[in-house]
Amino acid sequence: MKTLLLNEREVKKLLTMEDTLKAVEQAFSAKGRGMADMPPKMYLFYKKYNGDIRVMPSYLPELDISGVKVVNVHPNNPKKYNLPSVMATILMIDPKSGYPIAIFDGTWITTMRTGAAGGLASKYLARKDAKVLALIGAGVQADTQLAAIYRVRKIKRVIVYDLSENLCKEFVKKYKKLYPAEYIIAKSVKDCVIDADIVSTQTPVRKPIIMKEWIKPGTHINAMGADAPGKEELDPKLLTTSKIVIDDWDQASHSGEINVPLTKGIITRKHLYGEIGRIVAGMQKGRTNDKEVTIFDSTGLGIQDLTTAAQVYKIAKKKKAGIWIQMV
């Protein structure tokens, strides 16, 4: 047996958002039906360097695929080392023998599958007539949120806000032709979200930046930024009056958008409506009326990486991409 090696450039050439949406939908459905073996992600913190790594193993018996992702978060990387804040490596393992069948750069897979999660949450939870998308944070993750959500709803207006106005301008210039719509650069978070039908937040903040009174009835929110203990982007009052859908209880309660309000006793597990996997699998309804506010608390699941990596592996073999080496 041999091992396939793929770098980030090669993965980008092979993976489309359409393929990623299908792969992540498959992952969510498997989890919803109880067909996934996925321990909660494990954290190792480098407090001295303001960084951490997360280890995410998973196994999907019905697809006979298994693997593990190691991903870092180092916010200071771009300025200090000219490196991305987030980098990842994915190891695919043959369940029958334990042999490492593939080693991928997982940075682009992580970005794409996170965007796809927001897209799928919008597919199942946003109003059918949703057409105004608000993006809080104009970094790399905003790119794939737009790419995924644009494919599941007829977006007519995109409003973007970031602390860096230049980043917003670059974002608009990059996507106004690729994803035709009216693009607006907001002057504040409030201005960005107040008229939105779908809101996607992708920031590293540790204090709420979106207030309850700014969100109109019928809005869907993808809370993508909170991915470690102590992080939160939404006003806790918003959580107490909205339909909250999580991706995984163990991860969300530890490091998702709900982690701080849970710790403070502002909400309990009873406030949660359910898991996205059960909704995707058809075991639970998603949005039930056009007035409710829905929130998707995304922490990122190892099975999302696994199904996406499996798709890349399949395409790479077909197109004869990458390098094959004898590892053992």
Q: Taking the C-alpha atoms of 77, 137, 123 and 285 in order, what is their torsion angle to the nearest 10 degrees? A: 90
Confidence of residue 302 (pLDDT cuts 50, 70, 90): very high
Residue 227 has pLDDT above 90, yes or no: no
- Asked if residue 44 and residue 190 are part of one domain, the reply reads no
Q: What tens digit of pLDDT does each residue of 119-138 get?
A: 999 999 999 999 999 999 99
Residues 188, 295, single domain; the answer is: yes
CATH number at residue 84: 3.30.1780.10
Query: Which domain covers residue 22, as residue numbers?
Result: 3-109+303-325
Q: Which helix (H) or strand (E) holds 17?
A: helix 17-32
Q: Supply 103's token pair.
A: 């080693």
Name the percent of the chain lying above pLDDT 90. 96
Residues 126 and 231 in one domain: yes
- Give residue 52's pLDDT: 95
Which of 31, 69, 231, 243 is catalytic? The answer is 69
Residue type, 65: I
Name the helix (H) or strand (E) containing 167: helix 165-175
We report the CATH number of the domain holding residue 176 as 3.40.50.720
In the predicted structure, residue 228 carries a pLDDT above the cut 90: no
What are the residues whose beta carbons fall under 8 Å from the beta carbon of 299, sequence distance 6 or more? 41, 226, 227, 246, 247, 248, 251, 252, 255, 256
Burial class (CB in 10 A: 0-12, 13-18, 19+), 56: buried
Structure tokens at 177: 């032709």
pLDDT at 193: 98
Task: Look up residue 285 and give its two tokens.
Answer: 């309804």
Same domain as 295, residue 216: yes
Judge if 103 and 229 occupy the same domain.
Answer: no
Q: At residue 297, what are phi and psi to the nearest 5 degrees?
A: -95, 105
Same domain for 296 and 308, yes or no, is no
Domain check: are 158 and 83 in the same one? no
For range 141-168, the mean pLDDT: 97
Angstrom distance (rounded) from CA 178 to CA 170: 13
Mean pLDDT across 250-270: 95
pLDDT at residue 16 above 90? Answer: yes
On whether both 277 and 313 belong to a single domain, the answer is no
Q: Are residues 248 and 314 in the same domain?
A: no
**In terms of DSSP bridges, do strands 42-46 and 51-60 run parallel, antiparallel, or are they unpaired?**
antiparallel
* Among the listed residues 69, 93, 71, 220, the one whose alpha carbon sits nearest the alpha carbon of residue 149: 220
| 76 and 125 housed in the same domain | no
Per the prediction, the chain carries an average pLDDT of: 96
Please give the C-alpha separations between residue 23 and each of 28, 94, 202, in angstroms, as whole numbers: 9, 19, 22
- Of the candidates 29, 59, 24, 53, which has an alpha carbon nearest to the alpha carbon of residue 41? 53
Report residue 200 as tokens: 């996607």
Distance of CA 178 to the CA centre of its chain: 21
Q: By C-alpha distance, which of 225, 56, 67 is closest to 135? A: 225
Judgement on whether residues 134 and 155 belong to the same structural domain of the protein = yes
Residues 69 and 172 in one domain: no
Rounded to 5 degrees, φ, ψ at 232 are -160, 145
Q: Using 50, 70 and 90 to split pLDDT, how confident is the model at 269?
A: very high
231 catalytically annotated: no
pLDDT of residue 243: 98
> How far lies 268's CA from each of 72, 101, 259, 271, in Å?
30, 42, 10, 6
Please give the tally of structural domains in the chain. 2
157, pLDDT greater than 90: yes
Residue 76: strand, helix, or coil: coil
